[in-house]
Chain A
């Protein structure tokens, strides 16, 4: 297994290289000019050209790529065009809110969706099943920002239970940290609850018709034990796959949620950087997201071996 792990880690190198080339070319070929944006409305053509030269954007594209990739190999992602900070420092500042949001979202999603899915499978065809599946369709269909605004109106503006926006760092108090994460996490988790509940229901339903479930029931085990010890465990592989996918999809979800709830995380940094055409920041964030994506896939593959001992690499 260690050999497999090593090979998979080695495999990330070409993936990251392709991502790096792709994102670099995509940004350079898009009709945009960070120098013109930085210079502002009153700037003359000469001033824009001066800034372009300072940023090194007047150099041939290959030269720019060689300089950038050389720096990245030494762990230097360069300096943001706009923020006058290193990209590494910017990402460092933004990681905590995004990780907090992702963690809360996944916890809410898993702890709500898995029991719901199991329940729907157990009560297959009943009104509970229909409600869970109805919610699932709704969760898939309604855009994140619509859910966000509805929850804000209800819980923050109308009931006045939670803050409208913002983020409080965990170092400034756990209470405020949790309070400010509830609405964005619930907003973001709706789609994952829908996804995971649906997959759990399907997997558990399949397993419930197996002989060993009948045997467990014949042995007189309680229905709860049958469902959670026998059925759920054997149905876990596809569920874990979906949860892994969900974690990866979160990368897209945080972009919208962080913007709506004014959370200064990596999602907002991405939006700000794209709007400002801040090439070094966009490149670094996309590389980071790609790396996280690859690592999540690898982790999911490793978890398979724990859940199902028959799986060996």
Chain B
């Protein structure tokens, strides 16, 4: 072999080695900081939002709502409703697989719906209409109703906790009150269980065999295309440190940056702030109807005149770009939003509130108002409420505690002086409170209602009417009636909405403007 040939041979060998050593394509990893650390992995067992977000990574849904809030098929190819509106037939798409490679079947979906319906309030209501859920074949099943209801489609497309995620039958057969231990889903990402380290990180990899829909992604509907190979949820609990890490490029995305740090992020040329009009939260005041003085609806009604939304929003969010004063109970700019009955309310008319308290025979019983001190977006709510209530003539005993203590205390039915409570304030993700059924604090079913335990036949009758109605126009009319009854009976008071923007590096593209954060369609460009 002459020198030239030897050189060519050597160069070819080295070249082959280099090519062999190089990866087929560079792995892309999206590093994100979610609003909290993931400690539980069963999105049916708990309603915690972080677990719901995890659910959207790993699981898929039969139906989904697009960016306009319209219900679209997702795992199903099509669904049909019988002429009498008592039978829904769902046909699954071809090629859907679980992460273990087995096909998704009707039996899996039936078991998943049943498990979800035990835990979820909307699911429970839906099941009161259901006569049976039957598999027709491996890809088709029917939901047979005792009487027509609009809750089947509303329930199966529910965007927020509990989301009706589909699981393999062997998993969905788990007692709903026990956590699942097998995390096989059929969504666009697979959980890497060995790399799930609470307090550190949660890792997902792209599910190569996921078959996205052909339509473009829209809201939670359309093609769920995983455009990165790996997603790492990093547990950075310190808000300032998350911002520092984003600015330095140590992470790519923050789901919910603190509002007071947004001005810093806005100045960073490498960072984009993304505002989704659907990513809203609603602040609410929740009275406990079991004890004086809020056992009297007239006393509760005075609160509508005592409060105004701007004070609450400016004290907590403090930036006019992100606050949305909105009197609609079911979230402004959504299908069931209305301001009917709200004239003159939530304007801090202290004089009117005082008159109403007098008429109600309020005897000066102090209101034990629970004040949570450790969650930034909630901390200033109670002091504002106290101030406005005192101006209206209430006596207020505000007790400060951390959020977890408040959570424990609010489940107690005892009198305030025996460890119970009279009122607290919290925030709901908009997607949870967009209709009379899923809005937990509108539920007035006494002991079966949420903390505060309101008991009102009229409100329950209206909610039942809404559940029975399938015509959207009539549903809207019933929603208006629900809102008016809520004003009279006052199981809750909405004290304003705010937008929660996300922040990401400029090379992160394709983030969908949805009601809940999802990471399919997101890519990292060079």
* A-to-B contact residues, CB < 8 Å: 30-33, 36-48, 50-51, 54, 82-85, 90, 93-94, 149, 152, 156-157, 160, 163-167, 259-262, 264, 268-269, 271-272, 275-277
Extra pairs beyond A42-B120, A45-B451, A164-B244 (11, CB < 8 Å):
A33-B411, A36-B411, A38-B46, A39-B47, A44-B449, A45-B411, A152-B244, A165-B241, A165-B244, A268-B199, A277-B408
Are A40's CB and B47's CB within 8 A? Answer: yes
Which of A41, A48, A156, A160 contacts B426 (CB under 8 A)? A41
B244 partner residues in chain A, CB cutoff 8 A: 152, 156-157, 164-165
Complexed CA–CA distance, A119 and B451 (Å): 65
Q: Is the CB of B250 closer than 8 A to any CB of chain A?
A: yes
Complexed CA–CA distance, A51 and B176 (Å): 11
B120 partner residues in chain A, CB cutoff 8 A: 42
Given contacts A43-B47, A44-B450, contact A276 B39 (CB under 8 A): yes
Q: Is the CB of B267 closer than 8 A to any CB of chain A?
A: no
CB distance from A260 to the nearest CB of B (A): 6
Which of these binds chain A: B17-25, B232-240, B454-462?
B232-240
Are A269's CB and B199's CB within 8 A? Answer: yes
Complexed CA–CA distance, A174 and B167 (Å): 42
Are B39's CB and A33's CB within 8 A? Answer: no
CB distance from A308 to the nearest CB of B (A): 43
Complexed CA–CA distance, A271 and B244 (Å): 22
B178 partner residues in chain A, CB cutoff 8 A: 54
Given contacts A166-B250, A262-B237, contact A41 B245 (CB under 8 A): no
CB distance from A236 to the nearest CB of B (A): 39
Given contacts A54-B177, A84-B41, A84-B179, contact A46 B448 (CB under 8 A): yes
**Which residues of B, 217-266, contact A by the 8 Å Cβ criterion?**
234-238, 240-241, 244-245, 247-248, 250
Which of B235, B248, B404, B413 contacts A164 (CB under 8 A)? B248
Q: Is the CB of B447 closer than 8 A to any CB of chain A?
A: yes
Q: Which residue of B lies closest to A31 (CB)?
A: B405
Complexed CA–CA distance, A45 and B250 (Å): 42
Complexed CA–CA distance, A90 and B238 (Å): 21
Q: Which residue of A lies closest to B52 (CB)?
A: A40
A42 partner residues in chain B, CB cutoff 8 A: 47, 120-121, 161-162, 432, 440, 450
B200 partner residues in chain A, CB cutoff 8 A: 93, 167, 264
Are B235's CB and A264's CB within 8 A? Answer: yes
* 13 interchain pairs, CB-CB under 8 A: A31-B409, A32-B404, A38-B46, A40-B161, A41-B428, A85-B198, A157-B244, A164-B244, A260-B238, A262-B241, A264-B199, A264-B200, A264-B235
Are B440's CB and A165's CB within 8 A? Answer: no
Max count, chain B CB within 10 A of own CB: residue among A31, A50, A261: A31
Q: Is the CB of B100 closer than 8 A to any CB of chain A?
A: no
* Mask: chain B, 38-64; 1 = CB below 8 Å from A; 0 = not: 011100001110000000000000000
Max count, chain B CB within 10 A of own CB: residue among A51, A90, A165, A277: A165
Q: Is the CB of B407 closer than 8 A to any CB of chain A?
A: yes
CB distance from B467 to the nearest CB of A (A): 17
Q: Is the CB of B181 closer than 8 A to any CB of chain A?
A: yes
Are A164's CB and B245's CB within 8 A? Answer: yes
Q: Is the CB of B197 closer than 8 A to any CB of chain A?
A: yes
CB distance from A151 to the nearest CB of B (A): 12
Q: Which residue of B lies closest to A261 (CB)?
A: B241
Are B411's CB and A83's CB within 8 A? Answer: no
B450 partner residues in chain A, CB cutoff 8 A: 42-44
CB distance from B474 to the nearest CB of A (A): 26
Q: Is the CB of B119 closer than 8 A to any CB of chain A?
A: yes
Complexed CA–CA distance, A167 and B250 (Å): 12
Q: Which residue of A lies closest to B246 (CB)?
A: A164
Complexed CA–CA distance, A159 and B479 (Å): 57
Q: Is the CB of B344 closer than 8 A to any CB of chain A?
A: no
Complexed CA–CA distance, A51 and B179 (Å): 10
* Mask: chain B, 425-463; 1 = CB below 8 Å from A; 0 = not: 010100010000000100000011111010000000000
Max count, chain A CB within 10 A of own CB: residue among B48, B241, B419: B241
Are A152's CB and B241's CB within 8 A? Answer: yes
Q: Which residue of B lies closest to A152 (CB)?
A: B244
Are A41's CB and B440's CB within 8 A? Answer: yes
Are A165's CB and B236's CB within 8 A? Answer: yes
Complexed CA–CA distance, A241 and B168 (Å): 60
Complexed CA–CA distance, A167 and B284 (Å): 39
Max count, chain B CB within 10 A of own CB: residue among A51, A84, A152: A84
Complexed CA–CA distance, A50 and B118 (Å): 13
Are A31's CB and B199's CB within 8 A? Answer: no
Are A32's CB and B408's CB within 8 A? Answer: yes
Are B407's CB and A36's CB within 8 A? Answer: yes
Q: Which 5 A-B pairs have the closest CB atoms?
A: A33-B408, A40-B47, A264-B200, A42-B47, A82-B39
CB distance from B439 to the nearest CB of A (A): 10
CB distance from A204 to the nearest CB of B (A): 40
CB distance from A95 to the nearest CB of B (A): 13
Are B250's CB and A165's CB within 8 A? Answer: yes
Complexed CA–CA distance, A39 and B448 (Å): 15
CB distance from B268 to the nearest CB of A (A): 11
Complexed CA–CA distance, A165 and B244 (Å): 9
A160 partner residues in chain B, CB cutoff 8 A: 248
B402 partner residues in chain A, CB cutoff 8 A: 275
Q: Is the CB of B37 closer than 8 A to any CB of chain A?
A: yes
Which of A43, A83, A165, A260 contacts B198 (CB under 8 A)? A83
Which of B46, B250, B453 contacts A39 (CB under 8 A)? B46
Q: Which residue of B lies closest to A166 (CB)?
A: B250
Q: Which residue of A lies closest to B118 (CB)?
A: A47
Complexed CA–CA distance, A156 and B250 (Å): 11
B177 partner residues in chain A, CB cutoff 8 A: 47, 50-51, 54
B119 partner residues in chain A, CB cutoff 8 A: 47
Complexed CA–CA distance, A51 and B42 (Å): 14
Q: Which residue of A lies closest to B198 (CB)?
A: A83
A165 partner residues in chain B, CB cutoff 8 A: 236, 238, 241, 244-245, 250
* Mask: chain B, 113-149; 1 = CB below 8 Å from A; 0 = not: 0000001110000000000000000000000000000
